[in-house]
Amino acid sequence: MSYSPPYPLCQAPDIGNVKSGNDIEHTKRLGWDMANAHNVLFHGLNAMYNNAPNLRTRKDEVHFANYCLCFAGFLHEHHDIEEKLVFPILREHGLDMTKNSAEHEAFLPTFGEFETYVTTVRDGKEEYDADKLRALLRAFADTLVAHLHDEMSTITPEQMSKLDKPTVAAMMDAVMKGAMSSPPLTVGAFAFLHTDPKASPPWPCAPAPAVWIMKNIFLRWHKNDYWRFAPFDINGQPRT
Ligand SMILES: [Fe+2]
């Protein structure tokens, strides 16, 4: 299946009325977490595509380029965590992750071109051109979006039933620790500002003190520059 902007969000598995990520039925836990992470990426791709033609000043271009690089940081981190902390466990339990890993590699060249372009724009080495940015974005994103939707079908509750509850709990614990070691002002903040804050239970499932620090300190750091382009403001209000 091929996709074009605006990119559709993932449907997370129905987890019922639970208060925290730890209460989710273990066969649905990874799928729920993955859908939320993928939706961060879809929101980011749509925000970059929609904002690209609306920059007015050189300052806008620098802030927007930095915003795009935060997206890049989140995407690299998402795939690194999968390859290092998730897929090896799934493979051990008989799930086939071959196609997912191949797709991670496949979009890297075109994604690299996008990253290089926004970096050279940010550094003033190339003139900003909205049409070029959109073309470079679609060159990797149309494929990436297909991969992100396909991946959900490889971790359905039926497939995840090959893992027992303690194994899933330990894996998700490692995922959370990995996510919490990412740069909080860019990658961590990006996750929060591209997630509907009304969703329940809240995602990301970080410990309450870490969430408090994120919302009251880290999100404010770039609120008037990078995060002008995010779909939710630092108070959780949608921008459009
Ligand atoms: Fe994923």
- Average pLDDT for residues 136-148, to the nearest whole number? 95
Instruction: State how far the Cα of 31 lies from the Cα of 37, in Å rounded to an integer.
Output: 10
CA 142 to ligand 1 center in whole angstroms: 15
Question: What is the predicted pLDDT for the residue at 42?
Answer: 97
Taking the centre of ligand 1 as the mean of its atom positions, its distance from the CA of residue 124, in whole angstroms, is 33
Q: Please state whether the peptide bond connecting residue 201 to the residue before it is cis, i.e. omega within 30 degrees of 0.
A: yes
For residue 27, what are the contacts with CB-CB under 8 A and spacing of at least 6? Answer: 157, 158, 160, 161, 163, 168
Look over the chain and give the mean of its residue pLDDT values, rounded to a whole number.
94
Alpha carbon of 40 to those of 33, 117, 203, 231: distances in Å?
A: 11, 22, 10, 10
CA of 151 to the centre of ligand 1 (A): 6
- Give tens-digit pLDDT for 154-178: 999 999 999 999 999 999 999 999 9
Q: What percent of the chain has pLDDT over 90?
A: 85
- Cβ atoms 33, 176 nearer than 8 A: no
| pLDDT of 200 strictly over 80 | no
Concatenating the DSSP letter of every residue in 38-60 gives HHHHHHHHHHHHHHGGG--SHHH
Give the mean model confidence (pLDDT) for residues 144-159: 94
Retrieve residue 231's tokens. 């779909």
The pLDDT assigned to 240 comes to 64
Q: What's the gap in Å between 174 CA and the centre of ligand 1? A: 15
Distance between CA 133 and CA 208 in Å, rounded?
38
**What integer is the mean pLDDT of 202-215?**
91
- Which has the higher per-residue pLDDT, 74 or 202? 74
> Stretch 81-105: mean pLDDT, rounded?
93
For range 2-15, the mean pLDDT: 92
With contact defined as beta carbons under 8 Å apart, do 40 and 70 qualify?
Answer: no
pLDDT range class, residue 197, cuts 50, 70, 90: confident
Residue 70 neighbours by CB distance under 10 Å: 25
**CB contact set of 95 (below 8 Å; sequence gap of 6+):** 154, 155, 159, 162
Give the pLDDT score at 239: 85
pLDDT at 2 over 90: no
**What would the two tokens of residue 224 be?**
């008037």
Mean pLDDT score, 77-98: 94
How far apart, in whole angstroms, are the C-alpha atoms of residue 133 and residue 155? Answer: 33
| Cα–ligand 1 centroid distance for 149 (angstroms) | 9
Helix (H, G, I), strand (E, B) or coil at 199: coil
Beta-bridged to residue 238, according to DSSP, are: 232
Of 205, 184, 162, 190, nearest to 34 by C-alpha is 205
CA of 82 to the centre of ligand 1 (A): 7
Whether 107 shows a pLDDT value over 80: the answer reads yes
How far is the centre of ligand 1, averaged over its atoms, from the C-alpha of 166 (Å)? 21
